[in-house]
Structures are given as C-alpha cells and as structure tokens.
Structure 1
C-alpha cells in the first residue's frame, strides 16, 4: 500500500478511490471582502466511514456576492511593512483585544514562509494555546493526513494559520471586534507568503477571508479570489471528526484546490 493510500485511509476514506482527471477550474473573480467572525476550534475522535467513488465536483462560475460585512475593517493593530520576525514578535506580545488577557500564548502560525499553499482555520483551541502551534491534537492529525493525501507536508510548501491568534476563553466564538483587531496580522502573513492558493477550513475561516455570510454547501466547488489569490472553501478538520460522512466531499475539495493552483 502506498503512503498516499495510507493517508486516505487515515482520513477515513475507504474503500480507496483515486482522483479522476479534474477539469481546469474556470477562473472567476470575486471581490475581496471585509472580515467576519470565526469560532474557535474543537475536536472529537474520528470514526472510519466507507464511501464510494465519486466524480470530481463540477466547477461553478462565481459572481460577486452582495453581502453585508459582519466585521468592521477598522483595527488598532498595524502590521504594515513588518518582516516575518517582527510580525511574529508583535503577535506574541499583542494585547490589543481582550483575547490577550487569558491566553497562555499567542499562536502566530507554522510552516514554510514561501509556501504555495496557505491553510487558514478560525482560532487556537486549548491544546494549540498550550503548545503554541495551530492544528495539533486530533484535528491536527487529520489535517496532516489531508495534506499527505495531496503529497504535501506541514512546513514544506505549506503554511498553516488561523484567523485569530489567541484562544477565546472556553473556546467560544471570537467577537467581531476581536476578528477585526487581529485581521491585520493574517493580512500581512498573506502578503509575505504570497501563496498560490488559500484553503479556508470551515465556514468561520471562509467568512473571515471573504466577508459576509458564507455557507459551505454553496461555496464548495467555487473558486473565489482574495486580492488576486485563489481561495477554495472546504470543511474544518474538527467538523470532519464529528461528521466523517463528509470526508469524501473534503477530498473532492482538495482535488479541486490542487487543480486550481496556478
């Protein structure tokens, strides 16, 4: 059994099925939109699920949505012009919002600073807060398996970050002003990395990156644009642990993202 097949089994996709030739995605322009709120991560043990082979999801042309932003763009934080080391120092020392009061440590992100792929979640959970790294624990293991299924690995052409850098108390949903305050950090990370593609993991991350109300079912299979960078929306690993029946759909989304890399 190949390493890729082993990773697909780890994702709970069995019997194994291989990606069919994916159509080239139709490029569609969607205006970059302001931030949106995002709940903190949670995780539960995964249960294996059997799925049957399915063709790649058809590409849908996207039109610019008319939405009402749910997070104000203003912020007391400025990350403009900062290099990587300065940016991470600012994130670790930040006390610009209430999230800095009870955190153990800020979680800037991890990975290749010249990554082709940027994966964005919503916020650190308890284990991330303790270890200072995003996506650890069961959700992190599943994300690593998802990466491996594409021939990717954490830290190699991949960067992983969150919309907010500090854990909300009790893993509650971050408030709109907290997201708005923290957003310049993510924005600067995107500017520094200059990824070829961004994968939004879950609805909160998608809303933060694209703005307005985003529904996963409607956003899947669509190629969005954020300041010229393609954005693909899929499920958060923690959601997949609770709903393993959607792992096959997540695999479709990853194949679509791979076909979208320019």
Structure 2
C-alpha cells in the first residue's frame, strides 16, 4: 500500500469516526460452530435446531434436512454419509435404489422393521456434487455426537469406508476392519459396505450378507 493510499484511507476512517461510527473488536466467525452452543437434551428440539442450520454451504443446496429416523430408543444405529437426491427430494430415508436396498438388508436379513432401528447421516444436507469435505463433517459433528448421546445405541453400524474415516479418523484399510466389532468408548462399531457401493459392485453382496448375519447375532444378544 502506497503512502498516498494510506493517507486517503486514514482520512476516510477519521471522517467516518467524526460522524458517529464506532469501531469494536474484530469478530471471529471462523471458530463459530455448534461446539460453542449448548445443544438441547431433547431430540425433537435438536432436530428443529439442525433443520435451521446454515453453518456451511451445503445448506444452500438442500431441499430438506435428513436428521434421523426410527426408534430413538433403539440399541442399534445405522450411520450413512449424506442424503441421496431421492431422500432430499421426499424428506425420507429408505427411498431410491440404495435406500430400497438398505431397507431390504434390514428387514430381510436382520429380520426387523426399519422403524425399530435408528438411522442418521454423518452430514445432514445433500452435496450437489456428492463430495463431502472435512468442513462439512466438522460442522455436523456436534449434532451427530448429541444424537448418539440421546439415542444411546449399543451398536453403531457404519455404512461405507468414507463414513468410517470421517467418524474415527482411522486410516486402517477398510478390508481389515469391515465386519469386525470395534469397541469405541461405550459404543461398539461394526462396518459394512454402503448400499450404493453394493449396487455398483454386486459381487460384494456376499460379504455384506455375512456382515449382516454378525450384526443380527449381536442384536439377538442385546
């Protein structure tokens, strides 16, 4: 910045001050997130809060917020990455091809109605290019943590490698952890393939079926 430009800027600032403008401390919006706000202990109130969230740019693209669905007292929670186009359009889980496949996985293999388990996304809004960034996950993290705290599941079924990475920050090869029970504080985790992956790779459905049988056995012991 040249000396002449500096003088012009100072003159302008002094003029604004002379007509009543006051200057305070800079506001730090970078660190403004859900961790600075006490989240409600009622899941319906939490859902209303999340539905009015505009912490990241994904809020610009959504039709609906896919907060969660099912039994809030369930021992088992399913965790997806983000809403699909179909889910965003109709404001419901288990729609579209991947949603229908997941419904079949739960009802035909686990032998329980979808309404008896709880399902949510790690990111509550749709991404226009299906790219979920770390900032999106971080902005939704406190919401997900609170959901887990309120639902109190005993088993978290993680659908897909990317969800596992986002949730745990663990870089272990997915082939090594898929189908294994992983203790995580008071919550056990088990990973399997996401339905959209199975639609693209039907040869992996046999492995997913084995994972579901393990989940079913765990559920029967709860």
TM norm structure 1: 0.67
* Pairs within 5 Å for 1:39-58: none
Look up the SS of the partner of 2:167 in the other structure. Answer: helix
1:208-223 pair list within 5 angstroms: 208-223=166-181
Structure 2 residue aligned with 1:238, among 185, 196, 200? 196
Please point out which of 66, 73, 85 is paired with 1:126.
85
| Number of equivalenced pairs | 187
Q: Any conservation in 1 of the 2:154–2:186 contact (CA below 8 Å)? A: no
Question: What are the residue-to-residue correspondences of 1:177-216 with 2, within 5 Å?
Answer: 177-216=135-174
Gaps of 5+ in 2: 1-30
Give CA-to-partner distance per residue, 1:162-208, whole Å, 9 cap, x none.
1000001122x211111001111111111111112110000111122
> 2:210 aligned with 1:252, yes or no?
yes
String of CA shifts for 1:123-172, please: whole Å, max 9, x gaps: 0121111111234211111111111111111111x01111000001122x
Residue 112 of structure 2 corresponds to residue 155 of structure 1: no
Q: Give me the whole-angstrom Cα distance separating, in 1, the residues matched to 2:77 and 2:32.
A: 23
Note if 1:105 corresponds to 2:64. Answer: yes
Correspondence for 1:29:
none
| Inter-partner Cα distance in structure 2 for 1:129 and 1:159 | 18
Note the residue ranges of structure 1 that are not aligned, 5 or more in a row: 1-73
Give 1 or 2 for the bigger CA radius of gyration: 2
Aligned mates of 1:194, 1:131 — CA distance in 2: 28
Distance in 1 (CA, whole Å) between partners of 2:172 and 2:211 is 16
Higher helix proportion (structure 1 or 2): 2
Larger RCO (alpha carbons 8 Å, 6+ apart): 1
User: 1:214, 1:79 → 2: CA distance?
Assistant: 33
1:165 aligned residue: 124
SS in structure 1 at match of 2:114 = coil
For 2:33, the equivalent position in structure 1 comes to 76
Deviation at 1:75, TM superposition (A): 6.7
